[in-house]
């Protein structure tokens, strides 16, 4: 048993040394903990990094005391929370009256978000951006790392435009790599028929969050057709307000708002 403990400590030291070799300023964006194994190793990892002189900067949708909330064996995770509170300066954006992700989104562009019965307008936007391309067809892409085949139901390769339904993207077993592959191949992506979602659709919600994040990271122009506005896209009751996906979807709403702004649409793909 003692030998195993020594071995694990040696492995952790090697991991810390390897990270520090690449740089001592380490940034974590959208930090969250959802897995018990991750929760148990984080305190040792962060303690090692801090003792090695690392400067750690992180953003999160939750304050430290709410990380891994209601998680299995959370009492064993509590020392990590104490470490964050003790060793890091915490800045709460909840105390600000401004959601800075929406600042640029106030200058709204037209024709990028269609609600309900606006399908004809969506069709018109698609025809306009593909310039009536008669070579519209389905195609297959090869994912970046795993080299899997990814089906695109409708695309104009000439004009860099692809079209999917919500079911195509979120009811199939796709992940971040698939969505990033789409973002790397098309500068404009249409997604239609996004329904109003609830906690019963949590797996669909997770995929939609990943999809929007991926399009945002790739600076894709996202044209949306949905049953509701972003505010009504994912509804939860009070007892479910503490779920990680609820916090994460707040970011998705904000990104959808920003992606519909003139400023975002002017960015280069």
Place of tokens 């005391």: 65
Q: In the prediction, which pLDDT does 94 show?
A: 66
Q: In the prediction, which pLDDT does 118 show?
A: 87
Burial 157-179 (b: 16+ CB within 10 A, else e): eebbbbbbbbebbbeeebeeebb
The Cα 238–Cα 242 span in angstroms is: 8
Q: What is the pLDDT along the chain (269 residues), one digit of tens a residue?
A: 444 445 667 888 898 999 999 888 999 888 888 777 777 788 888 888 988 989 999 988 788 888 888 778 888 888 888 988 998 899 887 676 555 554 545 566 667 899 988 888 999 999 989 987 777 889 999 887 878 899 999 999 889 999 999 999 999 999 999 999 999 999 999 999 999 999 999 999 999 999 999 999 999 999 999 999 998 999 887 666 667 788 888 889 989 988 988 888 887 77
Q: In the prediction, which pLDDT does 141 show?
A: 92
3-class DSSP string for the chain? CHHHHHHHHHHHHHHHHHHHHHCCEEEECCCCCCCHHHHHHHHHHHHHHHHCCCEEEECCCCCHHHCCCCCCCHHHCHHHHHHHHHHCCCCCHHHCCCCHHHCHHHCECCCCEEECCCHHHHHHHHHHHCCCCCCCEEEEEECCCCCCEEEEEEEECCCCEEEEEHHHHHCCCCCHHHHHHHHHHCCEEEEEEECCECHHHHHHHHHHHHHHHHHHHCCCEEEEEECCCHHHCECCCHHHCCCHHHHHHHHHHHHHHHHCEHHHHCCCC
Q: In the prediction, which pLDDT does 5 show?
A: 46
Q: In the prediction, which pLDDT does 215 show?
A: 96
């Amino acid at each position: 048993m003692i030998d195993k403990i020594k071995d694990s400590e040696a492995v952790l030291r090697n991991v810390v040394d390897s990270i520090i070799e690449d740089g001592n300023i380490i940034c974590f964006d959208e930090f969250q903990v959802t897995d018990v194994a991750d929760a148990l190793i984080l305190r040792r990892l962060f303690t090692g990094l801090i003792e090695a002189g690392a400067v750690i900067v992180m953003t999160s949708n939750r304050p430290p005391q709410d990380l891994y909330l209601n998680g299995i064996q959370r009492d064993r995770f509590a020392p990590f929370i104490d470490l964050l509170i003790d060793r890091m300066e915490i800045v709460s954006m909840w105390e600000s009256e401004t959601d800075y992700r929406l600042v640029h989104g106030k200058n709204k562009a037209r024709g990028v978000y269609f609600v309900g019965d606006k399908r004809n307008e969506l069709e018109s936007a698609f025809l306009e951006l593909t310039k009536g391309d008669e070579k519209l067809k389905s195609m297959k892409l090869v994912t970046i790392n795993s080299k899997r085949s990814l089906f695109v139901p409708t695309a104009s390769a000439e004009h860099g435009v692809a079209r999917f339904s919500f079911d195509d993207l979120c009811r199939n077993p796709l992940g971040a790599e698939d969505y990033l592959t789409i973002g790397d191949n098309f500068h404009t992506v249409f997604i239609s028929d996004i329904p109003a979602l609830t906690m019963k659709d949590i797996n669909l919600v997770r995929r939609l969050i990943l999809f929007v994040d991926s399009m945002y990271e790739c600076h894709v122009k996202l044209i949306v057709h949905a049953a509701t506005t972003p505010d009504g896209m994912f509804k939860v009751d009070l007892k479910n307000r503490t779920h990680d996906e609820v916090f994460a979807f707040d970011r998705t709403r904000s990104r959808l708002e920003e992606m519909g702004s003139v400023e975002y649409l002017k960015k280069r793909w």
